Amino acid sequence: MITLHHLNHSRSQRILWLLEELELDYSITTHMRDPKTQLAPQSLKDIFKLGRSPVVTIEETDKPTIVLAESGAIVEYLATRYGKPELRIGAEEDTYADYLYWLHACEGTIMPPLIAELVMGKAKAKKKPFFVRNIADKVIDAIMDAYYRPNGNENLAYVEEHLAKRHAAQETFFIADRFTIIDVMMLFPLEAIYATRSTQTPSHIRRYVDAMHARPAYIKALSKGGDYDFGPQTAA
Ligand SMILES: N[C@@H](CCC(=O)N[C@@H](CS)C(=O)NCC(=O)O)C(=O)O
């Protein structure tokens, strides 16, 4: 039995979506973020020491239970062990190098500036004594402007250019002529951008996100996972 340890408003939405695409039997244990800190609760740390979501546990008769974290590892595992092989790109395919690049770049390159923006935004919003507020905010802005903001903007432009080429070639999916686990990985940062920037989001990213959001398995996953801030935006 596969159990998804789902954290509200988090990357575990990726796994929920993939489980639906794979039409697998699974159960969901939901862990709610601490409303004040937004961090994962102790119940998730009890499953996986670092307390990060997603985590899946896999129990099979006569085998030790597997506890697997890291969304990239989970999508590879599920697609390989239970999947439709077409959800991965094989080493013999022309897009294999692209596949490896995006599989790793998603968490390694695209996500970090987005997380920095989120964390620094929270630091700015935090109450501080008035005599340090200005200086603290300036330091935060300086850090963001020196690295994370330009970095995030370059990433966004790169992804937009990539998707513009895909759309010009009449392709819907991120790297292949079919749905793959790269779509599962890449949608999360792109839908987070779309949800926060709305119509300021570059047009090819919007078109891509809308296409993924229309997939029946995505819609089913949304209905199973509960509240999700980055799902389809009704008033965009
Ligand atoms: N690179 C990891 C990141 C995991 C991660 O940081 N997940 C966030 C949710 S999106 C989390 O668990 N946050 C709660 C916390 O840090 O307490 C992955 O892709 O799974």
Mutating to test ligand 1, I would choose from 48, 52, 78, 230 the residue with most ligand atoms within 8 A of its C-beta, which is 52
What the block records as the tokens of 192 is: 């987070």
The one-letter amino acid at 143: I
| CATH architecture of the domain with range 2-87 | 3-Layer(aba) Sandwich (3.40)
Domain ranges of the chain: 2-87, 96-215
Give the model's pLDDT for residue 236.
46
Which class is 96-215 in CATH? mainly alpha
Per-position b or e across 199-211, b if 16+ CB within 10 A of its CB: eebbebbbebbee
**Ligand 1 pocket, 11 CB below 6 A?**
yes
Residue 18 CA to its chain's centroid (Å):
12
CB of 10 closer than 6 A to ligand 1?
Answer: yes
List of the chain residues with pLDDT < 50: 236
pTM: 0.94
CA pair distance 178, 148, nearest whole angstrom: 33
